[in-house]
Amino acid sequence: RKRVVAFISGGGSNMLALAKACATPDFPAQIVAVFSDKADAGGLAKAEALGIPTRFFLRKDFASKEAHEAAILAALDALAPDLLCLAGYMRLLSGTFINRYEGRILNIHPSLLPLFPGLNTHQRAIDAGMRIAGCTVHFVTEGMDEGPVVVQAAVPVVPGDTSDTLAARVLTVEHRSYPLALRLVAEGKVRMEGGKAVASGTLPQADGA
Ligand code: GAR
């Protein structure tokens, strides 16, 4: 089974969805550790409750972004992960970091990329008058929220939606999409080649259809 380190900054509901999928029979991946850039990320306690080892690396404990990432990379070396899953990790990785794990880092973003990258995604989707929203799991490249798409899923935007109600609806499909994307990548059914996501065979939709 592929060894995965999940990266979180917050509540960790996507990390939990991945961990639950990994606990099902025949899933091709396992979460070997959860890393955070916040000591109080809610997801850390959730991971510990499942017996998954956790580590946190606070940016302020290091003199530079390079030193912060070097410490994370050194800790990763010891774990020898096959894949890294960014799950609400609110920090941009440098090119140096990404090159070390080229084609092996996944991220989830709560919009239908390339629409609405970056922060405040849901409010911007509402302000733009979108009638659908959704999530994207993609390979991480140097541009923020720019890498090739592995899985997407859509939800409606409904009248009266606020950023919070839309975020909650998108989150429900995130929890299905990320395990599916991890499965596809871990099984080698989707890989990054020449900056594109390449699929072998017919891929399932996020809803399993
Ligand atoms: C999720 O909605 C994720 O897509 C988003 O943060 C939330 C984390 O929730 N990520 C980003 O906005 C990255 N740009 P979680 O901690 O409960 O998984």
Does the CB atom of residue 111 touch ligand 1 within 6 A?
A: no
Decide if 177 contacts 78 (C-beta within 8 A).
Answer: no
Residue 109 annotated in active site: yes
The three-state secondary structure class of 163 is helix
**Top mutation candidate among 7, 13, 89, 146 for ligand 1, by most atoms within 8 Å of CB:** 13
| Residue 199 in tokens | 């699929």
pLDDT at residue number 143: 87
pLDDT at residue number 205: 65
Residue 203 clears pLDDT 80, i.e. is over it: no
pLDDT at residue number 78: 96
Does the CB atom of residue 12 touch ligand 1 within 6 A?
A: yes
pLDDT band at 202 (very low <50, low <70, confident <90, very high): confident
Decide if 18 contacts 45 (C-beta within 8 A).
Answer: no
The three-state secondary structure class of 172 is helix
| Residue 116 in tokens | 């609405």
Rg (CA), the chain: 16
The pLDDT of 115-119, averaged and rounded, is 97
- The whole-model pTM stands at 0.96
The pLDDT of 165-186, averaged and rounded, is 98
Reported ipTM: the value is 0.98
pLDDT at residue number 123: 98
Q: What does the pLDDT look like over 70-88, one tens digit per residue?
A: 999 999 999 999 999 999 9
The pLDDT of 102-120, averaged and rounded, is 97
pLDDT band at 25 (very low <50, low <70, confident <90, very high): very high
Nearest-atom index, ligand 1, CA of 121: 12
Decide if 137 contacts 177 (C-beta within 8 A).
Answer: yes
Percent of the chain exceeding pLDDT 70 equals 97
pLDDT at residue number 208: 43
The pLDDT of 80-104, averaged and rounded, is 97
pLDDT at residue number 209: 40
Q: What does the pLDDT look like over 141-175, one tens digit per residue?
A: 998 899 999 999 999 999 999 999 999 999 999 99
Mean pLDDT value across the chain: 96
Ligand 1 centroid distance, CA of 145 (Å)? 12
The pLDDT of 20-48, averaged and rounded, is 97
